Amino acid sequence: MENTQQLSQGTNQIICGDALETLRGLPDESVDCTVTSPPYFHQRDYTNSDQIGLEASPDAYVRRLTEVFRECLRVTKDSGSLWLVIGDKYVESEQQGLPWQVALALKKIGWRLRSDIIWHKPNAMPSPVKTRPTTDHEYIFFFTKSKQYYYDADAIREPHVTFSAESRMRGGRGHFGRRNGTPENGKNSGDSNLHDGRWDQAFHPKGRNKRTVWSISLSKSREAHFAVFPESLVQNCVLAGCPVQGLVLDPFLGSGTTALVARRLDRNYLGIDCVEEYCDMARSRLVKYQSKLPI
């Protein structure tokens, strides 16, 4: 129960250890939101006996991740959520469909799937493949523990495009302020606001609801020798899924981006990773961030 004692002393800590074993020592219903990206199947060798990703088969990989997220479900509050970022893998030139295999396995153990999101990577690495399209996306799965959950839609709204240069509407801005200026005859028949040219009243003042395709470039870190979790991606998940002063968990913390974003957004964090080098890297990034804050 050492980890339970550690958590009871306060959050905002990084625990170096196996994700499953560490989670088993945490108290029930103590986490508001989990944001994480587990090691991908046969993607990288972290030279640690506890690591996930080097299982003998895709099925074994899915089973092991399912056990980890079963514990995440236990430690999550009824109002809590899980944001899971995961990529696929080709084995002998055949795509495995691992993101959806994992998502469906998590549904079976009690997680409720609310949305699948496409993370489009504009700066994805080029590929020499000539027998299929080059992959430039990964999946983000938004799960909740119960039917009633915390979700702040306003915190992640996007700018409206209807009256912008990006509008696909015929006539674009020409419709704004004109009586009977709706773009499709009869679409909003009977709505006096719209047909009096009051389109401004039909849109949420903070922007449109977040869409399910997020175009976010891969990030780099001076400390890490590989592309890291984009902070803006994590920010979307934390803002939408965790209340201020709530607790954000990342059981595969890596270089510490989830913890760093949580602190910037006035949330608490709990990070777990089995590689000491990454735990040290994450702590270093947090110390540097803390040192720049005004006294």
Please tell me the distance from the alpha carbon of residue 163 to that of residue 251, in angstroms, as a whole number: 42
What is the reported pLDDT for 205? 83
What is the reported pLDDT for 155? 97
What is the reported pLDDT for 253? 96
Residue 278 lies in a domain: yes
Are 257 and 137 in the same domain? yes
What is the reported pLDDT for 5? 45
Please tell me the distance from the alpha carbon of residue 114 to that of residue 82, in angstroms, as a whole number: 10
Q: CA angle, 11 as apex, 105 and 45 as ends, to 5°?
A: 50
Residue 160 lies in a domain: no
Residue 127 lies in a domain: yes
Ranges of residues in the chain with a pLDDT under 50 are 1-5, 8-9, 184, 225
Are 106 and 27 in the same domain? yes
Residue 167 lies in a domain: no
Are 83 and 176 in the same domain? no
Are 230 and 261 in the same domain? yes
- Counted domains in the chain: 2
Amino acid residing at 271: G
Residue 164 lies in a domain: no
Give the residue among 222, 284, 235 at the shortest CA–CA distance from 256. Answer: 284
> 136-159: per-residue pLDDT in tens?
999 999 999 999 999 999 999 998
The CATH number linked to 277 is 3.40.50.150
Are 194 and 266 in the same domain? no
Give the residue among 112, 85, 95, 77 at the shortest CA–CA distance from 219. Answer: 85
Give the residue among 92, 120, 127, 101 at the shortest CA–CA distance from 40. Answer: 101
Are 57 and 9 in the same domain? yes
Residue 35 lies in a domain: yes
What is the reported pLDDT for 291? 83
Residue 81 lies in a domain: yes
Residue 252 lies in a domain: yes
**Residue whose tokens read 């999550």:** 76
Are 176 and 280 in the same domain? no
What is the reported pLDDT for 9? 47
Question: What tokens were used for 70?
Answer: 């079963």
Please tell me the distance from the alpha carbon of residue 27 to that of residue 269, in angstroms, as a whole number: 15
> 4-21: per-residue pLDDT in tens?
445 544 579 999 999 999
What is the reported pLDDT for 210? 96
Are 19 and 59 in the same domain? yes
Are 118 and 185 in the same domain? no
Are 37 and 121 in the same domain? yes
Are 19 and 138 in the same domain? yes
Where in the sequence is the domain holding 129, given as residue range(s)?
2-149+226-291
Are 47 and 190 in the same domain? no
